[in-house]
Amino acid sequence: MLDLQKTKLAVEQAYQQFSQIPGGANADYIPFLANIPGNLAAVAVVTTRGDVVSAGEAQYRFAIESISKVCTLALLLEDWGSEVVQEKIGAEATGMPFNSVMALDLHGGKPLSPLVNAGAIASTSLVKAHSVEERWQRILLMQRQMGSGQIALSAELNESEQSTNSHNRAIAWLLHSAGYMYCDPMEACDVYTRQCSTLLTTVELATMGATLASGGINPLTKERVLKPENTPRILAEMTMEGLYDSSGDWAYTVGLPGKSGVGGGILAVVPGVMGIAAFAPPLDKVGNSVRGQKMVAAVAKILGFNLYKGA
Ligand code: GLN
């Protein structure tokens, strides 16, 4: 049983130790993100029992970015089941940057993972919907059900991303030409860009992790939002590609499924126990939050969690 007092101390210690370490830089290929104050930082835990522990600016709303891919994957598994996702998107690491075109080229245009841009754009296109608006609303609803009803689109961030996403548009057309695009490519890219442009707090991100940790029940709303058989698939995909081309290093050093975004957010999941989330904008070269990785890893280490250790 997780000791709440120890968890509070672990979160506090992780924040004190790592929330202001040097290194990294804000993402600047999306203008909105370049302007976020780089010294903001937070760390939060939400347990499967519904306990919430946090330190720092845990109510600050930041850009979800790539972490949205986890929610869209969840929706896809609910819509289609695991075999369709494996066949049409994939369940492998690319070993390449998150927006790599070379990774597509090397595999006949198959994206391999729903957690890189190509796989996420293909995933967005596969969500069951009759219109662009329905596609978007279903994805937003999943973010809200897994995280919180407060999660919403930032019109300013969306505009900033939509006006600079030519690389992702190119990826959408490459997917189309290879037979891995399941709606109009520009509709998929539009909705994918919106799903990256929602804002959430570190506590809401940790809640998403807790929903995955509890086999699909959001511990704060008590609502079952995912079938229990789908959460292990999501966690496996996170292990393989959640931190892009440093997912291997993360598994090796931390030993928990994780997911990061270029907005500075990062999430790790301790199955059966909790979600651990952090936010701090400066990123390393791969696109993962420098301080966020350290804060999440510290909480896991202090509390003794690593999947490969066993119970
Ligand atoms: N919206 C960003 C993009 O598509 C998300 C990337 C990320 O967080 N790694 O480039």
- Helices 68-80 and 132-146, axial angle in degrees (round to 10): 110
How confident is the model over 192-203, as pLDDT tens digits? 999 999 999 999
Residue 128 CB neighbours (<10 A): 13
CATH superfamily of 4-65+199-303: DD-peptidase/beta-lactamase superfamily (3.40.710.10)
Distance set, CA 172 to CA 69, 103, 194 (Å): 15, 14, 15
CA–centroid distance, residue 49 to ligand 1 (Å): 32
242 touches ligand 1 (CB under 6 Å): no
168 touches ligand 1 (CB under 6 Å): yes
57-89 CB burial, b ≥16 within 10 A, e <16? bbebbbbbbbbbbbbbbbbbbbebebeebeebb
How confident is the model over 134-187, as pLDDT tens digits? 999 999 999 999 999 999 999 999 999 999 999 999 999 999 999 999 999 999
Alpha-carbon radius of gyration of the chain: 18
CA nearest ligand 1 atom 4, residue: 117
Domains 4-65+199-303 and 67-148+155-195 share a fold: yes
**Residue 60 pLDDT exceeds 70:** yes
Reduced to 3 states (helix: H, G, I; strand: E, B; else coil), residue 10 is helix
pLDDT on residue 18 = 98
Q: Please compute the mean of the pLDDT values over residues 24-47 and round it to a whole number.
A: 97
**Residue 63 pLDDT exceeds 90:** yes
98 touches ligand 1 (CB under 6 Å): yes
CATH architecture assigned to 67-148+155-195: 3-Layer(aba) Sandwich (3.40)
209 touches ligand 1 (CB under 6 Å): no
pLDDT on residue 223 = 98
How confident is the model over 92-126, as pLDDT tens digits? 999 999 999 999 999 999 999 999 999 999 999 99
- Cβ 121 vs Cβ 172: under 8 Å: yes
CA nearest ligand 1 atom 2, residue: 65
Residue 300 CB neighbours (<10 A): 24
32 touches ligand 1 (CB under 6 Å): no
CA–centroid distance, residue 261 to ligand 1 (Å): 7
- Cβ 70 vs Cβ 115: under 8 Å: yes
pLDDT on residue 9 = 98
Query: Which of 28, 69, 70, 98 gets mutated to test ligand 1 (max ligand atoms within 8 A of its CB)?
Result: 98
Please report the atom of ligand 1 found closest to the CA of residue 261.
Answer: 8
d(CA 13, CA 43): 10
Closest CA to 137 of 122, 154, 152, 150: 152
The dihedral built from the CA positions of residue 246, 251, 254 and 259, taken in this order, carries a sign that is positive
CA–centroid distance, residue 9 to ligand 1 (Å): 33
- Cβ 90 vs Cβ 113: under 8 Å: yes
115 touches ligand 1 (CB under 6 Å): no
Please report the atom of ligand 1 found closest to the CA of residue 161.
Answer: 1
261 touches ligand 1 (CB under 6 Å): yes
How confident is the model over 201-226, as pLDDT tens digits? 999 999 999 999 999 999 999 999 99
d(CA 136, CA 98): 22
- The amino acid present at 10, given as its one-letter code, is A
**Residue 310 pLDDT exceeds 90:** no
d(CA 213, CA 218): 9
Torsion angle of C-alpha atoms 235, 241, 243, 249, degrees rounded to 10: 100
Please report the atom of ligand 1 found closest to the CA of residue 66.
Answer: 8
How confident is the model over 238-295, as pLDDT tens digits? 999 999 999 999 999 999 999 999 999 999 999 999 999 999 999 999 999 999 999 9
262 touches ligand 1 (CB under 6 Å): yes
Closest CA to 202 of 83, 63, 35, 80: 63
CA–centroid distance, residue 287 to ligand 1 (Å): 9
Sequence spans of domains, the chain: 4-65+199-303, 67-148+155-195
